[in-house]
């Protein structure tokens, strides 16, 4: 089956630093990738949608200058949390859609970010 690899699985950083999370589709080309975050005991919240080679579309209330998304190739998207603060601590999850695979979305295993 299709695999989406997300790295790192967890990261601890100091307040004010930036953190990059990678999301790779291993055996298919991801025409569209989505980034979610999830706080403890809550559901997933969609942050942004990115299509390869174009700018990401951010959901209302998500700061595009803080959460930089790059989707430079059909197999890689990155989310950079810039100047992270403790309130950015969350579980970040990417998902990918392959046009040839129809309706399914494939999700990464998530990245737990803890900002001290």
When asked if residue 105 is in the footprint of other proteins (CB under 8 A), the reply is yes
**Cβ contact 98:38 at 8 Å:** no
Q: Are strands 111-115 and 90-97 parallel, antiparallel or unpaired?
A: antiparallel
Binding mask 76-95 for other proteins (x = CB under 8 A): ---------------x-xxx
Which 15-74 positions form the footprint of other proteins (CB under 8 A)? 32, 34, 36, 43-46, 49, 57
Q: Which parts of this chain interact with other proteins (CB under 8 A)?
A: 4, 6, 32, 34, 36, 43-46, 49, 57, 91, 93-95, 97, 103-110, 112
């Amino acid at each position: 089956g299709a695999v989406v690899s997300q790295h790192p699985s967890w990261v601890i950083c100091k307040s004010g630093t930036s953190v990059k999370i990678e999301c790779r589709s291993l055996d298919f080309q991801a025409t569209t990738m989505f980034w979610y975050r999830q706080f403890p005991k809550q559901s997933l919240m969609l942050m942004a949608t990115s299509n390869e080679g174009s700018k990401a579309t951010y959901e209302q209330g998500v700061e595009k200058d803080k959460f930089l998304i790059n989707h430079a190739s059909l197999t890689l998207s990155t989310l950079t949390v810039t100047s992270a603060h403790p309130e950015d601590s969350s579980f970040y999850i990417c998902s990918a859609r392959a046009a040839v695979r129809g309706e399914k979305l494939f999700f990464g295993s998530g990245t737990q970010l803890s900002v001290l």
